[in-house]
Chains A and B, each alone.
Chain A
Amino acid sequence: MLRKYLYLLLILPLAACIDPYSVEVEGGSQLLTVDGFISTGPGPHSIKLTRSDTYGSVFEGLIRPVSSATVIVRDDLGKVTFLTEDSQDRGVYYTPENFSASVGRSYTLQIQLIDGKVYTSLPERVESVPEIKNVDLKVVKIAVEGEILERSGVQLIAEFDDPADQNNFYYWRTDESTFVLKTRPDLFTPRPSETNPSRDPQPKDCCIICYKTERLGNQGIYLEKDDIFNGLSTGVPAGFIEDDGIRFVDTYRTELQQLSISPEAYRFLRLVKQQVEISGSVFDPPPANIRGNMISLDNPEEIVLGYFIAAGENRKRIYIDGNQLDFRQPVVIIPDDCREIEGSQLDPPLDWNP
């Protein structure tokens, strides 16, 4: 104990602390926010419209969808595509399923709200993107304060040949993922109730193996420009899938999208990344105003947040065999029928082909 305290004495100068701090933030303005993305990949593509609100928890301000707007995408040849709002998920507008952007075309997003206000994006030109040759995997461990067990996950490294004659700006996203979900219905133990007071497992007959489909949430923003690898065959970290003790028990399938974006979109996303990844060190860059590419046609002074991206896309589907990973989290046991888990089904997808 004394030894520990002694170490503490020696080290405290480095143990700068970070803790939540309540600040008085003025009531935020409700600014139109555009989260728009189309690509050369298969449709439908979606545009999400919301309004900003006071910074803080949902009690301070609630980000609300902007519904019933007229949303179109127009290319530089004058071709107009109408988007339709999702009937469930308000504020999300979809292109027709057969819509894909084309390399070499420029696109603008135009929005008319129900109050008649009209907004447009600056044109975004779609550039070609090289093919992903291979996706390399690397297990990454992340130490957590106060926990003996480290967090871990799989880093996806996109390998491709960067074209020498182009200035490329890359952005990577992961699309829908599916994995083999293994559960233990034999350990099923319902919550004791008056009719069923037993605390012993009451095994279910089925089912042990399902296929769960999910969309990976915020696992970081992956961007790069080719300044440092122009014309080379290179590998760049392009995604991260956290190991939650369930995903990598057997096989995990995901689809990596490699996107080419405009320099302006790159700059925008870099600022988003910078804000998302801020860690609280004395060397943090100061907060930056993240300017998007949307403008109001009625009032040029009005601030519109967000960005409309039009990207060239190449995607590669990969299967990750959990047994091949050199480190995995301990398996989390789910004592139930695997079909009970949200997003899971008994049959593999038709194109499941590990």
Chain B
Amino acid sequence: MKKLLLVFFLLLSQLGLAQTGEIKREVIGRDIGQLKGIEISGRIIDEITGEALAGATVTVPELKINKITDNNGSFQLTLDRAEYNLQFRYVGYETVNYPITAVGDGRISIKMIQEDFQLDDVVIYGSDPDKNIRSTDMGAITMSMNTMRELPPFLGEVDIIRSMATLPGVSQVGEAAAGLNVRGGGADQNLIQFAGAPIYNPTHLFGLFTSFNADAVNGVTLYKSVIPSRFGGRGSSILDIQPKAGSIAKWGGDLMVSNFSGKVGINGPLVKDKVSIRGGFRGSYINWFLGALSNPDLKNSAANFYDGNLVISAPISEKNEFTYSYYTSYDDFAFASDTTVSWKNNSHSLQWKSIINDKIGLEALGYYTQYDYSIFNRSGINDFDLNSGIKDYGIKAYFYYKFSDTNKVTIGGDFKNLELQPGELVPSQGTESGILPQKVQNEYGRESGIHFQHEFEIGEKFGMSYGARYDMYGYYGPRVVREYAENQPLSDGTAISETTYGDGDQIQTYNGFGPRGSLRYSFSKSSSIKLGYNKMYQFIHLISNTATIAPTDVWKLSDNYLKPQIVDQISLGFYNNFRGNIFETSIEVYYKDIQNVIEYKDGANLILQNNLETELVPANGRAYGIELYVKKNLGRLTGWASYTYSRSLRQVITPFEEEIINDGEWYASNFDKPHDFTLIGNYKVSTNTSISATFGYSTGRPVTFPEAKFDYTGNNLAYFNRRNEQRLPDFHRLDFSVNFKLPGKGKFYDGDWTFSILNVYGRKNPFSLFFVDESGAPPQALRLAVLGVPLPSISYSIKF
């Protein structure tokens, strides 16, 4: 009877609601009879993780107002005394309807819950649907991990760097090249930072793989055009990878196995609702199988890698949050030889975000990162270890002050200390060895910068952002620096004297003023035009004599001879969204001027080289291009198409005839690929199944063909003269993947299966052509194709 009564009562109350439309309405503020100008602030967080949701939309339908939450998930509304039906929306989260009665100043705290990912409609835009139109940021692209998961995986894994390369203006040298080339810049012109700490070699398996575990990453932002003034030190782009915090509510984890590697992750509250932790580990088991192969080169090869992450996040109050992040990666490989190459990254960072009040906040970060790489020779004759490394630690901090929602000033500064060990040769047989221990002088540099930026809107139509960064760089002893005879090329033969600098002595300084600015004019809510200008300085250089980032490459600081790279970029873009932001389109053009880019003398010797200046020549660089981009954000079929026409050119003119390359004319850089087209599609077949495909086409990259063959000591040698005058055949490749769930009850059965095929039609895209004279064959060109066959992979992942 009681039960019946209860049911009846419940029914009645439901009916009552339905009939009267009476909703439980929260009264905000203390009623002091205020009628206008009621300030309501609030913050939106993820209910599970406690993470602030930046870029969520707050809608007041009654006033037709939309607000976007800031980086801290906060928002402010100024309302009149009335009832409102607030709506909170965020991509991938369930929309929250929140009726209020505003009677006085007050705060709201909103917790949003992630939608189950089995959406019929996949949404691939970042946080904020019309951000591309409204923001004054130019060329800043945020890619969510969900978007990356929609792309066909590389060997069963989401690959962050490869995903970025599908964007317009971003390319890679080839299939085994880890570095990115952003708008005609070299791979070292990108600052790749994880949780604020720079990572010097983000690769596994000699560049096949990106060494960031996608499960440990929250989101990735690439700045390629107007780079916010708080970033500096690299010429072309900033790739900012944010770690993912654990849940403050409950423990969980994930597990993935593929035919190549496996990973496991766990996260949960260390202190419930206060401190969360997330740890992850990924490793390969490729070595177990190498020995079983018949190919002798592979049989005698070894390859190992792993990476690990740890994030501890303590949102100790609504206004203060500390995040500690640790990242490590390790690799070694020996390809059919007695020589093993190994490298490892270790980085720590501690971040503090604080909101002092509604107008003022600050972010501070300290990091320590170390990159070590070694070559071990175990041939039995004069065995040695060759060790190199970089230690980089620094702090950065900035304040912001908001005059209003659309008027914000940021001021900050940063400092970093760099110590490079370019190479130390250690004989491994002790005193018996026939080689000497040797050490290239360490390099010491300090980089600091101060910056400010002011973003504001003038009415509905105009938005503007301007700022500047002042970089200060010093190169310090201890070091012995050579001087060279005037009016002669730098070489061992023209060295005339040496100066010894003591510990901490300043050897050389460079300062640079880098203005940034962008201007936006909106034609309407869905279309705008933006103009931007940017100047960047770069004091650390990757000295690489290969087309890709190799583990044997040397990093070098600017010194007396090697000047900082200076990049000027001007860009213009037109942005238009259609049909309620379902379609996003953009056209951007840019022109870039690069000073002091590094080129190499023919046959430069870079290893164990104390005087690198004798092997390098300064070059001018320029790059320009047009980028077209169409993206469909919503629906069963989502994806994008991008087309870039761009050139990346170099010019080497020096007073010395023997150093001039290609007669001082402009020539194509190693990664100049004029036409570059990418088409990506993802189709949701059903709730449990989706398929996706990626097609990429680009002009073949430049190569140098021999102009003749000649005979020397019985070898038919190739005579190369002008660099990069021919091209590899065009590159094109289709990748395909299917993702499905087998619906089931058990936790361990309803995981995600992903099956993918890279290079579906097995094109042998050449990575390089090289010219050899082997006995038994005429001198000829050989092609190296990294992915010469269709490459299937399968992976299975579960969450618990």
A residues whose Cβ falls under 8 Å from a Cβ of B: 7, 9-23, 25-26, 28-31, 33, 35, 48, 50, 52-58, 61, 63, 138, 143-145, 150, 157, 159, 217-218, 221, 227-237, 263, 267, 270-272, 274-276, 278, 280-291, 303, 305-307
Contact = CB atoms under 8 A, between A and B. Distances in A.
Contact of A14 (B303, B767, B768, B769): B303
The 4 closest A-B pairs by CB, nearest first: A143-B296, A57-B778, A234-B434, A28-B708
Nearest to A49: B711
Interface centre among B299, B436, B709, B778 (most CB of A within 10 A): B709
Contact of B712 (A159, A272, A274): A272
Contacts of A285: 545-546, 603
Contact of A232 (B436, B710, B780): B436
A182 to B, nearest CB: 25
B717 A275 contact: yes
B434 A13 contact: no
A111 B299 CA distance: 52
B771 interface: yes
Contacts of A231: 436
Given A7-B293, A15-B295, A218-B714, A138 B788 contact: no
A113 to B, nearest CB: 16
User: Considering residues B208, B708, B713, B780, which has the most beta carbons from chain A within 10 angstroms of its beta carbon?
Assistant: B708
B686 interface: no
Contacts of A236: 381-382, 434
Interface stretch (B136-144, B357-365, B718-726): B718-726
Interface in B537-567: 545-548, 550, 552
Nearest to A275: B717
A56 B293 contact: no
Interface residues of B, number: 94
Interface string B778-789: 111111111111
Nearest to B425: A228
Interface string B257-285: 00110000000000000000000000000
A138 B303 contact: no
B709 A61 contact: yes
B775 interface: yes
Interface stretch (B389-397, B411-419, B645-653, B699-707): B699-707
B779 A56 contact: yes
B201 to A, nearest CB: 13
Nearest to A10: B289
Given A55-B705, A217-B775, A267 B603 contact: yes
A144 B296 CA distance: 6
Given A228-B608, A236-B434, A18 B382 contact: no
Contacts, number: 259
Prevailing SS type, chain A contact patch: loop
A15 B785 CA distance: 9
B301 A9 contact: no
B413 to A, nearest CB: 39
B399 interface: no
Contact of A145 (B207, B295, B303, B603): B295
Nearest to B384: A228
Given A227-B608, A229-B436, A21 B708 contact: no
Residue of A22, A23, A35 contacting most chain B CB atoms (<10 Å)? A23
Interface in B402-453: 425, 434-436, 438
B470 interface: no
A343 to B, nearest CB: 17
Given A17-B789, A232-B435, A283-B552, 17 more contacts: A11-B293, A17-B764, A19-B783, A25-B706, A26-B705, A33-B712, A50-B711, A52-B710, A55-B719, A145-B295, A229-B382, A229-B435, A230-B436, A276-B717, A276-B773, A280-B772, A282-B206
**Which secondary structure dominates where chain B touches chain A?**
loop
Contacts of A233: 434
Given A18-B784, A287-B718, A13 B155 contact: yes
A349 B757 CA distance: 65
A221 B714 CA distance: 11
A78 B260 CA distance: 70
B286 A21 contact: no
Given A10-B259, A157-B381, A282-B547, A29 B707 contact: yes
9 contacts: A145-B296, A235-B382, A236-B382, A267-B603, A278-B771, A278-B772, A282-B550, A282-B768, A286-B545
A275 B303 CA distance: 27
Contacts of A29: 707-708
A54 B709 contact: yes
Given A18-B783, A145-B295, A263-B493, A31 B602 contact: no
A271 B603 contact: yes
Contact of A16 (B608, B704, B723, B786): B786
Contact of B434 (A14, A22, A229): A229
Given A145-B297, A232-B434, A31 B709 contact: no
A288 B602 contact: yes
A53 B709 contact: yes
A42 to B, nearest CB: 20
Interface string B757-779: 00000001011111111010111
B658 to A, nearest CB: 7
B605 interface: yes
Given A26-B707, A35-B711, A150 B298 contact: no
B435 A237 contact: no
B494 interface: no
A14 B785 CA distance: 11
Contacts of A16: 176, 767, 784-788
Contacts of A276: 715, 717, 773
Contacts of A267: 603
A9 B717 contact: no
Nearest to B492: A263
A23 B770 CA distance: 11
B177 interface: yes
Nearest to A283: B550
A198 to B, nearest CB: 34
B603 A57 contact: no
B722 to A, nearest CB: 9
B340 interface: no
Contacts of B719: 28, 31, 52, 55, 289-290, 305
A183 B784 CA distance: 43
B798 interface: no
Given A18-B783, A282-B767, A290 B381 contact: no
Contacts of A271: 602-603
B174 interface: yes
Contacts of A218: 713-715, 775
A120 to B, nearest CB: 17
Interface in B324-357: 335-336
A29 B722 CA distance: 14
Given A286-B546, A286-B704, A63 B717 contact: no
B380 interface: yes
Contact of A7 (B208, B289, B335, B548): B289
A158 to B, nearest CB: 10
A235 B381 contact: yes
A196 B771 CA distance: 49
A282 B603 contact: no
A278 B438 CA distance: 27
Contacts of B720: 287-290
A53 B602 CA distance: 22
B104 to A, nearest CB: 64
A13 B791 contact: yes
B320 interface: no
A237 B381 contact: yes
